Structure 1
Amino acid sequence: MTDGAPRQLTRTATGPQRADLLELFFDLAFIASLTLTSQAMAAEQTWTGIAQALLALSTLWAVWVTTTLITDTYSPRKRPIPQLILGIMFGIMLMSAALPTAFHEHGLIFGGTWAAINLGRGLVLIRSLRGREGQERSLRALVWNLGSGTLWVVGGLVADPEWRLAVWLVALGVDYVAFGFRFPIPGRAPLPQYRVAPEHLAERYQQIYILTLGELVLVSVLSLSHQPFTPDRIAAFATAFLTAAVLWWSYAQGAGATLRAAIEASPHRTRLVQTNPYAHWLMVAAVVGTAAGVERIIAQPWERPTAPMAALVLGGAGLFLIGRAVLEHEVYGRVPLSHVVGVVATIALAPLSVHLPGLALGLAAALVLLGVAAVEFLRARHRRAPSPATL
């Protein structure tokens, strides 16, 4: 590599800003992990099982976010970025395959692969960016990743599932803190803010959210296809479709649709870059939890839900509304009252959930989401309506 090659690695303002096909190819590996996560939640509906699945989901989400930041900073068409993305894709596929037994015999595969992804990514970027500004960030990230990677490997070697969960929670916390504070090193000046391509970054988050909804659609179709077609199961399937449609509409007609313009216009662009992953994580986790609940409801529409299952169904709706409220606040500087009321409604339904069949609980959660969406629609329509003075 010549001395000028690292300069060519960085995206330019005049170059293509749209998502590359390689990035969409990479997304397929992440969507596979979402399906396995929702299946794990549906199969083992205990509080510990849900916590384990959420940790796995949060880890895989960290893989996606850090990879997206790489392709937002560096061109995915310039070596060695395509090779790096494909390597990370193989790693996330390996982690996904180990996910169902990550807290049993394949813990070292799951944790060790995440550590290898972090370390390998850092070494590749350090070598490719030698002598350039971006190398400092990669060096600091490598220091933090050595610490968290050790915890991931140690956690994979711990035999007890609960202790493994505890160690991995600490490791994941280290990863999230390091990213959120831009890899601080005592005695060294803070790193400069992340430089982003607004069009590309907004498009990537929009794409991954819509693809996540595809996972909910897939789970609904597969769940019904494996069962006899009875009126109650078709009703549960229709409820799942209604939920997916509302989750799409609420995002597409709200802050998600104007994400690019918000990033471009915001005086706090860096804050949006750093809060976007957390807001979208809430919504992605909500969809995955909803998919797990949908799978059980379609299979047994009249089964009374356990507390963990009720948490998946109602918590999925509430978590989505919280994520949407966070995104709305970051984009528009406000928190819609309708979202707050919706979250309160999901909490209020929790005591009643043990007395309702799964079908009724799923319908109640869908109606809460639909009610919030209807209020938002009327509010948006009122904003667009001309005042009497202009008629």
Structure 2
Amino acid sequence: MASSPVAAGEEVYRVTTLELFFDLVFVFAVTQLSHVLVKELNPLGLLQVVLMFGVLWWMYAGYAWLTNTLAPTTAARRLLILVGMGGFFMVALATPTAFKGGGVLWGIGYLVLVLAHVTLYMQGNPNILRVLPANLLAAVLIISAGVLDHGAPVYVLWTLALIVPIVQPYIVPAGGLFTIQPAHIVERHGLLVMITIGESVIAVGAGAEHAHLDAGLVVAVLLGLALAAAVWWSYFARDDARAEESLTAADDVRRTQMTMFGYFYAHIPLIVGIIVAAAGMGQAVGHAWDHLHLGPALALAGGIALYLAGDVAFRRTMRIGASRIRLAAAVVALALTPLGLWSAVAEIAALVLLLTAALALEHVTTRPDAPAPGLGQSSGD
């Protein structure tokens, strides 16, 4: 299917206030995931967060693509979005105990999300029924895991619930189902990244809550805020606008592929990385002038490394700039983990310097007015 880019004068969907309202509930779910990781800052806790986030991310993306195709402008559509919000809220409430007795409620909430999504999507594209069985199966697998409650089979079922949606696009090609509105999809995911970065700010405040208020704590908090600001700068300085230009220039099939791989797959490590770093940040700020245990030190440095790796994949998919500098920064960020075992504040400061240096190096090696590589030149990678 060949198609020309978005035509001049064609209706452009922008993110509505209802979608932002929906995202507030998703933020609560993300916050719950962060809290789980803080309490279980170990490989098993990380696995739980990755599994829950992966499943949630699939359905969040489903709602983002839904409102990209069908704006929630009527009372019926708005009510169905609100029903979906209720499902998300059920999931969020069950998240802290999803692997300890709350799995059934988690699965039921996810089922509500699936049913509200397909009911609304059918109004714009009945072909969505082709992918409904996989989404229903994921909900059933999670409910079954909740019934089992504990043990290795629970993790197997959760893993299957994550894998089923991931393999689905290869069985049911997305190109025939979706027409992407570039401005909306870029804005929606950009706002989600912004909200997730906000979780880092909350983590900084939470980490400082029970610490003694002195000059040392102020320095640590400001460094934590600077790290969140550096992550913001790396994503929003130019890349979001360039991504919209690149998507707009693509035909329908290519645009759908870019959206799937750039905004679904690449944003998984990008957003999970911010969440993981926020969990480490909370503990690092609270013990800024002490050494960290391996878990928090690895969460802080590894989270930034994971974010950068996802950002590299995103930039390459969108063809919006060379990413060698950010890939190198990801490797260096992970290598900074031992520094936190000596001093938490030293690790935070080193990560701030690393991101600042990487962004500065990009600035001096790339002309600010250069066109996005996807709009007429090679990616440079």
Give the TM-score, by structure 2 length. Answer: 0.87
Number of corresponding residues = 360
Q: Which runs of 5+ in 2 are unaligned?
A: 1-8, 371-381
**Structure 2: distance between partners of 1:344 and 1:200:** 33
Check conservation: 2:89, 2:109, Cα contact below 8 A: no
For 2:269, give the aligned amino acid: L
Match in the other structure for 2:326: 339
2:154 maps to 1:170: no
Partner of residue 289 from structure 1, selected from 260, 263, 276: 276
Check conservation: 1:255, 1:331, Cα contact below 8 A: no
Q: Percent identity?
A: 25
Match in the other structure for 2:373: none
Deviation per CA, 1:340-369, whole angstroms, max 9, x where unpaired? 21122123334x346422222222222222
Farther off after superposition, 227-236 or 268-277: 227-236
Partner of residue 317 from structure 2, selected from 327, 330, 335: 330
How much has 1:323 moved relative to structure 2?
Answer: 1.6
Match in the other structure for 1:387: none
2:126 maps to 1:135: yes
Match in the other structure for 1:115: 111
Give the TM-score, by structure 1 length. Answer: 0.85
Match in the other structure for 2:362: 376
1:119-268 mapped onto 2 (5 Å cutoff): 119-126=115-122, 128=123, 134-136=125-127, 138-178=128-168, 180-181=169-170, 183=172, 192=176, 194-267=178-251, 268=254
Match in the other structure for 2:259: 273
Check conservation: 1:115, 1:153, Cα contact below 8 A: no
Match in the other structure for 1:25: 21
For 1:135, give the aligned amino acid: P
Check conservation: 2:293, 2:341, Cα contact below 8 A: no
2:317 maps to 1:321: no
Match in the other structure for 2:54: 58
How much has 1:28 moved relative to structure 2?
Answer: 0.5
Q: Which has the larger radius of gyration?
A: 1
SS in 1 for 2:360: helix
SS in 2 for 1:103: coil
Check conservation: 1:302, 1:357, Cα contact below 8 A: yes
Q: Which runs of 5+ in 1 are unaligned?
A: 1-12, 185-189, 385-391
Deviation per CA, 1:274-331, whole angstroms, max 9, x where unpaired? 1112222222111111111111011112443333322211111111111211121122
SS in 2 for 1:370: helix
**Structure 2: distance between partners of 1:363 and 1:54:** 27
Q: Cα RMSD (Å) of the superposition?
A: 2.3
Farther off after superposition, 306-315 or 246-255: 306-315
Partner of residue 69 from structure 2, selected from 61, 73, 77: 73
Relative distance call for 1:215 and 1:252 in structure 2 (3 A) is same
